[in-house]
């Protein structure tokens, strides 16, 4: 059974870079029909798509974050990563990684358990 | 940044039926993209409940059903149970975003 697990610092200072890694187990990240996505959810609020990548390196970014965002995939380690630069308090959220099925609608399953990132000095 | 609108809350007594609406636009649901639904219990990650408008992943009971018409979709829960209390989110693909877009979320309360 495929599982995803996010890891990274829980506290990031304003203006610095948020870096997270998603480890994929139970299946290879090298699947042509899937993307690998990042999502976030401020505590008590709704879900937001951050971006996604394909194992070939193709990326898709939320336009509102694109200028600060980088998502990369490491096939050899079966993981993918998120970097968000120049963070502010507005970037504080629970960050989730998930496998994204392409096609009509792009649904996500399964999801990692999520990791809380707080931006504060 | 949600562009799919859901009612903030719905409620019902055990055994009753509740329906959650999800209203989009011509750049997402109305453009023909599939609608998916997720259920999220407190302090846990979202979990896929319905995909492709009407399909249930393995293990999801048939008390949960989805439908779509035009630029809107609905999730219906029949035979409401106490452990159905959770937040529910619809999701589709948005042409402008070039990626997934979520609904505002609906909290289901069992009276």
pLDDT (tens digit, 9 = 90+) per residue, A41-71? Answer: 999 999 999 999 999 999 999 999 999 999 9
Q: Which residues of B touch A106 (CB under 8 A)?
A: 93, 99-100
Tell me the pLDDT tens digit for each residue of B12-59.
999 999 999 999 999 999 999 999 999 999 999 999 999 999 999 999
Q: What is the DSSP letter of B5?
A: B
Q: What is d(CA A45, CA B109) in angstroms, rounded to the nearest whole number? A: 17
The confidence score (pLDDT) of residue B2 equals: 65
Q: Is the Cβ of A114 closer than 8 Å to some Cβ of chain B?
A: yes
- Mean pLDDT in chain B? 96
Report whether B110 contacts B85 (CB < 8 A).
Answer: yes
What distance lies between CA B87 and its chain's CA centroid?
A: 9
Q: What is the β-pairing status of strands A115-119 and A11-12?
A: parallel
Segment (H or E) for A69: strand A69-74
Q: Is the Cβ of A107 closer than 8 Å to some Cβ of chain B?
A: yes
Q: Tell me the residues of chain A between 45 and 104 that have a Cβ less than 8 Å away from chain B.
A: 46-49, 51-52, 60-64, 96, 100-101, 103-104
Tell me the pLDDT tens digit for each residue of B65-101.
999 999 999 999 999 999 999 999 999 999 999 999 9
- Residue A61: burial class (beta carbons within 10 Å; 0-12, 13-18, 19+): buried
Inter-chain contact B98–A63, Cβ cutoff 8 Å? yes
Q: Which residue has the tokens 């870096």?
A: A19
Inter-chain contact A108–B47, Cβ cutoff 8 Å? no
């Amino acid at each position: 059974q495929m599982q995803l697990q996010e890891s990274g610092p829980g506290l990031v200072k304003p203006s610095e870079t948020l870096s997270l890694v998603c480890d994929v187990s139970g299946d290879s990240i090298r699947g042509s029909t899937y993307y690998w996505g990042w999502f976030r959810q401020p505590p008590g609020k709704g879900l937001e798509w951050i971006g996604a990548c394909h194992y070939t390196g193709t990326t898709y970014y939320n336009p509102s974050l694109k200028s600060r965002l980088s998502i990369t995939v490491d096939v050899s380690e079966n993981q993918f990563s998120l970097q968000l630069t120049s963070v502010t308090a507005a970037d504080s959220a629970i960050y989730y990684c998930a496998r994204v099925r392409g096609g009509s609608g792009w649904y996500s399953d399964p999801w990692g358990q999520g990791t809380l990132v707080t931006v504060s000095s | 940044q949600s562009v799919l609108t859901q009612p903030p809350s719905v409620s019902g007594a055990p055994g009753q039926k509740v329906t959650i609406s999800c209203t989009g636009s011509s750049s997402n649901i109305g453009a023909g993209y599939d609608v998916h639904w997720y259920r999220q219990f407190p302090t846990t990650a979202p979990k896929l409940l319905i995909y492709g408008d009407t399909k249930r992943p393995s293990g999801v009971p048939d008390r949960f059903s989805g439908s779509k018409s035009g630029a809107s979709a609905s999730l219906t829960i029949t035979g409401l149970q106490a452990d159905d209390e959770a937040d529910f989110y619809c999701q589709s693909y948005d042409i402008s975003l070039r990626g997934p877009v979520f609904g505002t979320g609906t909290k289901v309360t069992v009276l």
